[in-house]
Amino acid sequence: MSTLLLSLETSSPVCSVALHHLTTGRLVGQTELRLEKSHSSHLSVLISQLLENTLHTLTDVAAVAVSDGPGSYTGLRIGGAAAKGLCYALDVPLLAISTLQSLARQVASRTARPEQYLYCPMLDARRMEVYAALYCADGSEVLVPTPLLLDETTLAEQLGGQSLLFFGSGAAKFQPLVADNPRAAFLAGIEPSAVSVGELALAAYQRQEFRDVAYYEPFYLKEVYTTTPKGK
């Protein structure tokens, strides 16, 4: 009987894979690779190695979850294609989990008094722009994922009322702009993980929040930047 949830996280330079037991929620295993532009050639290898190391096969997988974005356009495309391919081949459902929400869960689950903060994951975009959202400790959404242009007035209303905890690849750009605000706290070293994607996907699986495999596209939030070759 298939009992495993396979989760993929490819929205950042970290390529991450995790296995959870669907019934108990137990983390069966995880693996990741920190290597720029490696997802296309290494994702399938990481999946195979994790299954082998945990003494499982693809036939044990009952559902696949993927980090939905926002994040790296190329990374999300690779993860989405891999997840859809697995779902087709195994005839199992697909779950798509917000990259920003999974980051917030990762941090809130490690915080001693999680209710004291609103959680603001920030993913680096271009120049002084980030992709960000706001979540309560229980995962409820306060601000939907949105592109933010960073300056001294960004999130001023929210910072005027409650302490916010900022983290993710874009947070360091914002820190100098609010250095004098005692309600702004920052946490370094937080990166997207397939483990937190899987934790949210376990609950989504119970709610049967499945995506249409044929038509699924990652949540890019903004269209990919393209350039026109010279002479065109």
Please give the Cα distance from 51 to 54 (Å, whole number). Answer: 5
**Does residue 230 have a pLDDT over 70?**
no
Please give the Cα distance from 112 to 187 (Å, whole number). Answer: 14
Model confidence over 68-88: pLDDT tens digits? 999 999 999 999 999 999 999
Confidence label for 232 from pLDDT (cuts 50, 70 and 90): very low
| Single-letter amino acid code for the residue at 16 | S
Model confidence over 181-215: pLDDT tens digits? 999 999 999 999 999 999 999 999 999 999 999 99
Q: Which two tokens stand for residue 222?
A: 């903004």
Q: Which candidate, 14, 13, 35, 22, places its Cα nearest to that of 198? A: 22
- Average pLDDT, integer, range 159-183: 96
Q: Which DSSP helix (H) or strand (E) runs through 45?
A: helix 39-53
SS3 186: strand
- Average pLDDT, integer, range 154-180: 95
Predicted local distance difference test score (pLDDT) of residue 126: 85
Q: Which candidate, 187, 209, 13, places its Cα nearest to that of 98? A: 209
SS3 55: coil
Average model confidence (pLDDT) across the chain:
92
Give, as one character, the DSSP assignment of residue 212: -
Model confidence over 29-82: pLDDT tens digits? 999 998 766 677 799 999 999 999 999 999 999 999 999 999 999 999 999 999
Q: How many helices (H) and strands (E) does the chain have?
A: 6, 10
**Does residue 90 have a pLDDT over 70?**
yes
User: Is the separation of the CB atoms in 132 and 123 below 8 Å?
Assistant: yes
Model confidence over 95-119: pLDDT tens digits? 999 999 999 999 999 999 999 999 9
Please report where in the chains the tokens 């929400």 appear, as a residue.
101
Predicted local distance difference test score (pLDDT) of residue 39: 74
Q: Which two tokens stand for residue 31?
A: 């693996």
SS3 23: coil
